């Protein structure tokens, strides 16, 4: 308990679950510890109450208070008050971290001032050396002429050495600049995280419940009706049924990552295909459960890490990847591959930036989108992580009412294809039937 936040999370994970931590989840917990959104008992309770912790029978004395505090935080009326009391209780520690950061910034400023003064002194000394060198050069003209003759005889060798030296210097300068930029970025990130923690401690931040309710209304406006979505995703039934045929009926069926309002799970249930879903939105999970669907609130990376290897026939991820950092997306694809049985399939659907309307406008209707992902990038990602028979299916062309009028010329048709083509695409990959490179470590 005496080590710093990152070391504490890593040590707690290895001690309680017997393995290295999930990098994304561990990093998020470190940030929440620094912001004061969690304390160390919360981390220990999370690990003890996780699926792995329960499976290992992990139990430590002294966790009742942390569990009780977390339980209070979920109550509709008591929860916000409890969270504010906890935030105020943690405020002194947050203020101490802010004060420590201010001291570090002041130390950096003083160091920068000292470097500036040293640079001034160095410039003066260099100027003095320059004058001395000029005097020496005028008195050594004959020696320089002789050196020129020697340099001419070995010109190629000297030139190559100079080029190599310049390249080494250039690389060193670039590396120093990158290191400086990275340090500045880390400093700004920490400052912003502390500012966010202070805002949350004083109740400035918008509650998560409000944000989730907003996003439900947002999807109702822009995503389309349940009937429309069921009609769109029905195109993937063939791929799932083919995967079930390849792997047999002994698997746990389909896992839908980012279940949303549950249209896809509802369609699978109507076909008698066993399926379950996960979503990080409590509002979406509640909506699915009210519809009788098997959906739990969970983080995708953590949930897939706990899924038994080779246990699923299919993993489906519809309109989720465009919300993720690319490093998280890579890990998500790896863990989906590990969870799939040989012959199982991964289906990922996302907006198609090849359609200029989508890439330039419609993609950004959702403010939580990060950046468009071209089809070739997703195809390469699945192939690189070990999937085979990867194919891209372009889906959902623009309605005729939005197509461009034209004179039937080749140019008019090409322009219409660019702005009225498929609005989405799906990339589908299969886990190899034979063991090999695709057997990525489940940890």
Domain ranges, residue 165: 94-201
Please indicate, yes or no, whether residues 197 and 255 belong to a single structural domain of this protein: no
Please indicate, yes or no, whether residues 232 and 109 belong to a single structural domain of this protein: no
Lookup result for tokens 């001395």: 132
Give me the phi and psi of 217, to 5 degrees please: -65, -35
Average pLDDT over the chain reads 80
Q: What is the pLDDT of residues 263-296, one digit of tens each?
A: 999 999 999 999 999 999 888 999 999 999 999 9
Give the pLDDT score at 191.
45
How many domains does the structure of the chain reveal? 3
Give the pLDDT score at 277.
97
Please indicate, yes or no, whether residues 20 and 149 belong to a single structural domain of this protein: no
Please indicate, yes or no, whether residues 60 and 111 belong to a single structural domain of this protein: no
Reported residue count of the chain is 443
Give the pLDDT score at 434.
77
High-pLDDT (> 90) share of the chain, %:
35
Query: Does the pTM of the predicted model rise above 0.85?
Result: no
210 has a pLDDT exceeding 50: yes
Please indicate, yes or no, whether residues 241 and 386 belong to a single structural domain of this protein: yes
Give the pLDDT score at 202.
43
High-pLDDT (> 70) share of the chain, %:
76
4 and 427 Cβ atoms separated by less than 8 Å: no
For the record, the structure tokens of 84 come out as 């504010």
For the record, the structure tokens of 393 come out as 């299916």
440 and 334 Cβ atoms separated by less than 8 Å: yes
Q: What is the pLDDT of residues 8-55, one digit of tens each?
A: 889 988 888 889 999 989 888 888 888 777 778 888 888 888 888 888
Give the pLDDT score at 409.
80
Please indicate, yes or no, whether residues 62 and 148 belong to a single structural domain of this protein: no
180 has a pLDDT exceeding 80: no
Beta bridge partners of 287: none
Please indicate, yes or no, whether residues 119 and 159 belong to a single structural domain of this protein: yes
Tell me the CATH number at 249: 3.40.50.150
Least confident of 81-95, 180-194, 376-390: 180-194
Beta bridge partners of 248: none
Q: Count of alpha carbons within 13 Å of 13, Cβ hemisphere only?
A: 18
**For residue 246, is it within any domain?**
yes
Give the pLDDT score at 176.
64
The whole-angstrom separation of Cα 42 and Cα 62 is 11
> Which residues, in sequence order, are CB contacts of 409 under 8 Å at separation 6+?
none
């Amino acid at each position: 308990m005496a080590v710093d936040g990152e070391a504490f999370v890593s040590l707690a994970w290895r001690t309680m679950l017997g393995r290295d931590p999930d990098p994304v989840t561990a990093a998020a917990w470190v940030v929440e510890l620094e912001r004061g959104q969690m304390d160390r008992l919360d981390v220990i309770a999370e690990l003890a109450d996780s699926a792995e912790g329960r499976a290992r029978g992990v139990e430590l004395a002294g966790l009742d208070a942390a569990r009780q505090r977390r339980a209070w935080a979920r109550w509709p009326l008591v929860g916000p008050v409890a969270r504010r009391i906890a935030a105020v209780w943690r405020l002194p520690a947050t203020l101490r971290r802010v004060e420590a950061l201010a001291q570090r910034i002041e130390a950096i400023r003083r160091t920068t001032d000292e470097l500036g003064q040293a640079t001034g002194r160095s410039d003066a000394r260099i100027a003095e050396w320059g004058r001395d060198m000029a005097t020496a050069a005028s008195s050594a003209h004959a020696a320089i002429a002789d050196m020129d003759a020697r340099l001419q005889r070995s010109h190629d060798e000297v030139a190559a050495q100079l080029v190599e030296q310049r390249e080494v210097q250039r690389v060193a300068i670039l590396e120093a600049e990158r290191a400086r930029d990275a340090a500045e970025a880390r400093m700004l990130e920490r400052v912003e995280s502390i500012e966010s923690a202070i805002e949350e401690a004083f109740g400035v931040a918008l509650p998560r419940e409000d944000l989730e309710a907003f996003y439900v209304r947002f999807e109702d406006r822009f995503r389309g009706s349940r009937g429309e979505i069921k009609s769109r995703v029905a195109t993937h039934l063939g791929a799932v049924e083919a995967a079930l045929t390849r792997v047999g009926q002994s698997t746990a069926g389909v896992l839908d990552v980012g279940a949303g309002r549950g249209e896809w799970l509802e369609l699978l249930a109507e076909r008698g295909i066993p399926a379950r879903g996960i979503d990080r939105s409590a509002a979406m999970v509640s909506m699915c459960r009210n519809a009788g669907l098997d959906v739990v609130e969970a983080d995708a990376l953590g949930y897939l890490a706990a899924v038994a290897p080779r246990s699923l026939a299919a993993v489906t991820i519809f309109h989720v990847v465009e919300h993720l950092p690319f490093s998280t997306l890579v890990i998500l694809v790896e863990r989906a591959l590990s969870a799939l049985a040989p012959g199982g399939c991964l289906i990922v659907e996302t907006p198609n930036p090849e359609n200029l309307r989508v890439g330039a406008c419609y993609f950004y209707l959702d403010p939580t989108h990060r950046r468009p992902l071209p089809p070739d990038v997703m195809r390469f990602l699945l192939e690189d992580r070990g999937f085979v028979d990867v194919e891209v299916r372009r889906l959902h062309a623009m309605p005729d009412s939005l197509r461009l009028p034209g004179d039937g010329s080749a140019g008019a048709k090409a322009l219409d294809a660019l702005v009225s083509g498929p609005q989405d695409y799906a990339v589908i990959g299969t886990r190899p039937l034979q063991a090999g490179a695709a057997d990525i470590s489940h940890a």
